Amino acid sequence: MNYDHRMGLYYIILSVTRFLLLHQVRKDEHDSAEEYRQYRFCGFLLFALNAALVGVVYQVVNQDMGYQYPGILIYVVATYAFLCLAIAIINVIKYNKLDSSVLSAVKAISLAKALVAIFALQTAMFASFGGNESLHLQRIMNGVFGGCLCFAIFCIAVYMVAEANKNPKHHRTEAARERI
């Protein structure tokens, strides 16, 4: 699989995950057990996303692949990437205070998407502004940031699965009490 296919797979999985979570939010009934099940499922999908992302990072570092944008388009991409990151961080903090695991999962996915956008921007900036003389530095920086990115998304996935599994019996009994 080449770089574009891996990134495409990454964004397809990301979109499907967000669709499933938002579909859960739109339901009229509030089922705490179902929300935590969706939260756990989202955590597992982040593991799959991370596997695709590891392949992307590998190709960027070892095969010198990445994005290239013509002209001033890279500045538009940079603005988009940093805006996504700022909004994602604000929303993770804001929605973490709410008692909705599904909304928290959507915001965690938005954060993962924003971090990947920053990584794609970094590869594009190296392609546009870096020269062949700095190829070794580019590989080191892409490897370090890509590794940190994969580790961060892995930690988010572990946190989500652990949080959903923390006390599943409590969530089931609470949902049963709400129905009574």
pLDDT in tens, 147-180: 999 999 999 999 988 888 886 554 554 555 555 5
Q: pTM of the entire structure? A: 0.78
Average pLDDT along the chain:
80
pLDDT bracket for residue 118 (50, 70, 90): very high
pLDDT in tens, 14-71: 777 777 777 766 665 566 777 788 888 888 888 888 888 888 888 888 887 777 778 7
Radius of gyration for the alpha carbons in the chain, expressed in angstroms and rounded: 19
Domain boundaries, given as residue ranges, for the chain: 3-179
The region of weakest confidence among 41-55, 94-108, 134-148 is: 94-108
The b-or-e profile of 145-163 (16+ CB within 10 A means b, else e) is bbeebbeebbebbeebbeb
For residue 79, what pLDDT is reported?
92
For residue 154, what pLDDT is reported?
94
Average confidence (pLDDT) over 101-121: 85
Question: Which tokens belong to 87?
Answer: 């909004």
